[in-house]
Amino acid sequence: MVLVPNQLWRMAAMALCVLSIAGEAAAEICVDVDLKFAGREPSQVTVQSMQDEASAIWRRYGVQIQWPASRLEAHCPRVLGSFDVLVEYQRSSATHARASTVLGSTRVVPARIDRVGIYVDYDETQCLIESVGQSQVTILAGHPDIGPADIGRALGRILAHEIGHVVLGAPRHQPFGLMRRSFAPAELVTRQRRAYTLSKKEVERLCLRERELREYEALR
């Protein structure tokens, strides 16, 4: 089999990706994320905590999130996608079935990531983490009461999950890690991020998606 230069480049890129998996920063993807809240004005602590958490989860895999305020600093030489995120507060009825609650949603696009919508439910997320007992919250979060930073951290994890569906091009869920179907309340409260990781196969998929996105942008 004769390899053309483009095929050689792809193979070299994949080899570098596989080698980088051990260090976990496996891709170089930058996305713009616009964040809007409806129904309730959140505290700045909540907003910052949400942004910090989503950024931290993805940074370890080489995905950089640019928020509106950070774009002026021009960290990314090239943006490969953009999201419009709506975090909505709608107080639920007391009889709402929590077991079937959907905390976030989005749609998977096959090619270019262009202003893809993501929805995150503020009220359901807050209600879920407030179901954790005070003594357990103290152990998980380091203080007895759920505060704005804890709500923001939970929202950031849900947002990171929804971004994952699009960036990975993966509509289905996984049994473990960031892309599992549901998060337990304690997992949303804890300061530890061990439950919000990608598998080796997902990291490999991320590398492939980076190449797909770059090739798509090059054809524009």
CB 150 within 8 A of CB 126: no
Tell me the C-alpha distance between 128 and 92, whole Å. Answer: 12
Residue 1 is assigned to a structural domain of this protein: no
Looking at every residue in the chain, the average pLDDT score rounds to 86
Residue span of the structural domain in which 203 resides: 26-218
Return the amino acid letter for 196.
Y
User: Does 26 or 60 have the greater pLDDT score?
Assistant: 60
Residue 89 is assigned to a structural domain of this protein: yes
Residue 59 is assigned to a structural domain of this protein: yes
Whether 101 has a pLDDT exceeding 50, the answer reads yes
Query: What would the pLDDT profile of 55-99 be if each residue is shown by its tens digit?
Result: 999 999 999 999 987 655 657 888 999 999 999 998 765 444 454
Whether 3 has a pLDDT exceeding 50, the answer reads no
Residue 15 is assigned to a structural domain of this protein: no
DSSP assignment of 163-199 equals HHHHHTT--S-BSSSTTBS---HHHHH-S--TTS---
Tell me the C-alpha distance between 94 and 214, whole Å. Answer: 47
Residue 19 is assigned to a structural domain of this protein: no
* Pairing verdict, β 113-121 and 81-88: parallel
- 3-class secondary structure per residue, 41-98: CCCHHHHHHHHHHHHHHHHCCCEEEECHHHHHHCCCCCCCEEEEEEEECCCCCCCCCH
CATH code, domain with 39: 3.40.390
Whether 14 has a pLDDT exceeding 90, the answer reads no
- Give the three-state DSSP class for 69: helix
Count of domains for the chain = 1
Question: What pLDDT is attached to residue 2?
Answer: 40
66 burial (CB, 10 Å; 0-12 / 13-18 / 19+) is: buried
Residue 12 is assigned to a structural domain of this protein: no
- Give the three-state DSSP class for 122: helix
Mean pLDDT of 196-209: 95
Residue 6 is assigned to a structural domain of this protein: no
Most confident by average pLDDT, 26-30, 77-81, 165-169, 210-214:
165-169
